[in-house]
Amino acid sequence: MTSGGSVWAVVLHYRLWRETERCVGSLLESDYPELEILVVDNGSCDGSAEELRSRLPATVHLLSLAQNRFYAGGMNAGLAWALERGAAWVLALNNDTYVDPAMVSQLVAAARSQADVAIVAPLIYYAGAPEQIWNAGARRRRGWPFPHPVAPPGSSPTLGPEPLDVDYVTGCAMLLRHEALERVGSFDARYRMYYEDLDLCQRMREAGYRIQVVPAARMWHMVGSTAAREPSTNRYHRTRNRWRFYMQHTKGLVRLWTALLLLTQEGARILRFAVQGSPDLARSQWAALWDGLRGAESEPG
């Protein structure tokens, strides 16, 4: 196999060491000849980093952060570490995933063939339903500010073999070109978690790069295994950053139209949480929406 340059897979770990071990194990079975693996412990402070160190082979690198920098900050630390060591490509991965042995090779082959492609992503399936699509990227629609999924969650793959141009892919799995990261920058740490991936895709496209999904490249995701641990905190960041993203990347009348839609949608969620007997989620939703309106940031409990 002809190598396409060194790839560093950066796996962001937070407490769930079994999931991380499985993810790394699948990467170790990759057929790509120049693959290095870096696990970034995102300030777990529960002994899971030490557990991983004792279980993973010495060829796997481990970077321990003193505190939780959330997704954007933790992944940025791993991206910087990899780029400093000469990575031609960086594969950003959630730890609650596992990959097909050919995935890395297929992603690199697709990206190498087109110099203006900055990000490529695999077709991501549900781990609990291995033949059903979880994420295949999303595209913008004329007259509507919110992107539409290329394939509905839960659908069967019918996308064909060729790479697809999309507007957004999930940070769950992104193969990033070194040169594009150097030019555009990495994740915006203000997003912490949620919408940092859409923001990076948006900035890459504004810089003239393309984004693709490679349907032949496969990965599986244990959806929600990390987010379920702190639902109120995750609800806050999801809502706050949704508002941040659309207000940052829209202008004029489109911005006003988008703000009205967001207020309607997120306000409806507050009412639904309250009616369904989830007051903590309703409070987190309200705090996030209020902070978005006034341009502030809170630390949800």
pLDDT tens, position by position, 287-297: 999 998 888 77
State the chain's mean pLDDT as an integer.
92
Q: Which helix (H) or strand (E) holds 98?
A: strand 97-99
Distance CA 176, CA 119 (A): 5
pLDDT tens readout for residues 19-74? 999 999 999 999 999 999 999 999 998 888 899 999 999 999 999 999 999 999 99
Report CA Rg, the chain.
Answer: 19
Q: Are strands 210-221 and 173-177 parallel, antiparallel or unpaired?
A: unpaired
Q: At what angle do helices 231-248 and 196-206 cross, to 10 degrees?
A: 20
Distance CA 90, CA 35 (A): 10
pLDDT interval class at 202 (50, 70, 90): very high
265: pLDDT strictly greater than 90: yes
> Nearest-CA neighbor of 255 among 267, 240, 243?
243
pLDDT interval class at 225 (50, 70, 90): low
Distance CA 126, CA 153 (A): 9
pLDDT tens readout for residues 203-215? 999 999 999 999 9
Q: What is the pLDDT of residue 2?
A: 53
How far are the Cα atoms of 35, 74, 75, 91 from residue 9, in angstroms, in the given order?
7, 14, 11, 4
Structure tokens at 132: 């059903």
How many CB atoms neighbour CB 207 within 10 A?
13
The angle formed by the CA atoms of residues 153, 143 and 146, to the nearest 5 degrees, is 35
The answer to whether 217 and 175 are in contact (CB under 8 A) is no
270: pLDDT strictly greater than 60: yes
Q: What is the pLDDT of residue 226?
A: 57
The dihedrals phi and psi of 297, each to the nearest 5 degrees, come to -140, 135
227: pLDDT strictly greater than 80: no
Q: Tell me the H-state helices in 249-278.
A: 252-275
Q: What is the pLDDT of residue 114?
A: 92
pLDDT interval class at 102 (50, 70, 90): very high
Distance CA 71, CA 242 (A): 15
What mean pLDDT is predicted for residues 115-120?
96
Distance CA 106, CA 31 (A): 10
Q: What is the pLDDT of residue 143?
A: 82
The answer to whether 288 and 240 are in contact (CB under 8 A) is yes
The answer to whether 78 and 187 are in contact (CB under 8 A) is no
Residue at token pair 């780029």: 83
The answer to whether 211 and 165 are in contact (CB under 8 A) is yes
The answer to whether 288 and 237 are in contact (CB under 8 A) is yes
Structure tokens at 186: 């990495």
